[in-house]
Amino acid sequence: MLKNTVHVHEKVSQILPGEGAIVKIEGEKVAAYRDETGAFHTPDPFYRHMRCIVSWNNAEKTWDCPCRGSRYNAKGDVIKSPALYGLPEKKVNTKINK
């Protein structure tokens, strides 16, 4: 299986509005995007087929999968195949990891 490494931020407070990053919350990796209103969207960062971790593309405002080239919008919906399904929302408490 292809492995990828991605930088994991320590705190969600490091994520500015309009940006995304992988963070660790309660021991789990989460793809966290802070929208322009300050609300967080937290899709599961693992690409379903190969379990690679997506990374945030700040220029395009997308989550990109290094394994097969799939791309997702900030909320985890597929915008470029080969992925058939989006990244499911991960229910986490972003307030505990400020």
Tens-digit pLDDT profile for the chain (98 aa)?
444 455 566 688 889 999 999 998 888 899 999 999 999 999 999 987 777 899 999 999 999 999 889 999 999 999 999 999 999 999 887 776 65
Sequence-distant (≥ 6) Cβ neighbours of residue 75 within 8 angstroms = 33, 41, 43, 86, 89
* Residue ranges of domains in the chain, CATH in brackets: 8-90 (2.102.10.10)
Cα–Cα distance, 28 to 23 (Å, whole number): 8
- Cα 29 to chain centroid distance, Å, stands at 9
Taking the complete model, does pTM exceed 0.75, yes or no?
yes
